[in-house]
Structure 1
Amino acid sequence: MDETRIATALLSGPDAIMAADRNGLITFWNGGAERLFGFSAEQAVGESLDLIIPKRLRARHWAGWHRVMETGQSSYGDGDMLGVPAVRADGSTISVEFVIHPVTDTQGQLLGVAATLRDVTARFEETRELRRQLAER
């Protein structure tokens, strides 16, 4: 199989895959992202990542984003799964886990990031309920 067919298969799969440039503007949004967040690619591409970041977390997100864009270094290791709340088009909040993938030019300069995301809301809520039950005992 060639790389193009593999890439097409991955990009059309169930996972949400998105990318953003150095300014945090969405540059890629696949069908999985449309299903997860409820925004079409036409609605998302060109918009700020604020589209899916809860308002209360934006300052912290952007501080970290700018640090990574300036230094090229993240405090998260390669392939670390991150868990955060995110906002859907209908305004509801979901829990997502994601992995970031740096996107660089041929000289290794950071152009932005791509991410693979999954909805883990059910698991998060189940874990929270189990913790609540344990705390009550």
Structure 2
Amino acid sequence: MQTTTDLKQLVEAVGDAIVASDASGAITLWNPAAQRMFGFTEEEALGQSLDLIIPQRQQQRHWDGYHKTMATGKTRYGNDVLRVPAVHKDGHGLSIAFTVALLHAPDGQVSAIVAVIRDETSRFAEERGLRKRLMELESQIAPQASPL
């Protein structure tokens, strides 16, 4: 028996944020998980620039890569996970990880980029704490220089 998947229901049900943007970088899809992650409602996000969630210091780098992807139709982040900082509506920083998919118009040109995003803020902080603790422990057991 063949079943069909309700794509709208799928996008709304998944736990990861799904954000799509058009060629200019305007947000065209913002699922409930994106709202939970970034704090902006769908109404606040739709039509806005992706700068809404990109820290200002990262924006130039983001747009350089975005426009290159739109022009070439190629991205390495379809399979490789990209880890970057992001910003919540209230201004606090997030650490996110995501992959992207390119959507194409009938003429073959890239028409949209879709990102599937996971909030890794707590995992990133935990790893940073563990690395710091490891460095502290290693410094305690490092061989002491002989005063000879």
TM score, norm. by length of structure 1: 0.92
Q: Which position in structure 1 is the counterpart of 2:143?
A: none
Q: Which position in structure 2 is the counterpart of 1:11?
A: 11
Within 5 Å, which residues of 2 pair with 1:16-95?
A: 16-74=17-75, 76-95=76-95
> Once the two structures are aligned, what percentage of the paired residues are identical?
44
* Equivalent-residue separation in structure 2 for 1:33 and 1:103 (angstroms): 19
Q: Which position in structure 1 is the counterpart of 2:134?
A: 134
* Equivalent-residue separation in structure 2 for 1:60 and 1:135 (angstroms): 31
2:132 corresponds to 1:120? no
Runs of 4+ with >3 A deviation: none
* Equivalent-residue separation in structure 1 for 2:68 and 2:36 (angstroms): 30
* Equivalent-residue separation in structure 1 for 2:99 and 2:77 (angstroms): 10
Report how far residue 77 of structure 1 moved.
4.7
Q: 1:59 to 1:122 in 2, by over 3 A?
A: same
Give the counterpart letter for 2:100 in structure 1.
Answer: I
SS in structure 2 at match of 1:102: strand
Q: Which position in structure 2 is the counterpart of 1:2?
A: 4
What does the per-residue CA deviation read over 1:17-56, in whole Å, with 9 as the maximum and x for residues that have no partner? Answer: 1100011110110111111100001100110000000011
TM score, norm. by length of structure 2: 0.85
* Equivalent-residue separation in structure 2 for 1:122 and 1:41 (angstroms): 25
Unmatched 5+ residue regions in structure 1?
none
Q: Which position in structure 1 is the counterpart of 2:145?
A: none
**C-alpha contact 2:100 2:113 (8 A) present in aligned 1:** yes
* Equivalent-residue separation in structure 2 for 1:82 and 1:70 (angstroms): 20
Give the counterpart letter for 1:65 in structure 2.
Answer: Y
* Equivalent-residue separation in structure 1 for 2:77 and 2:98 (angstroms): 13
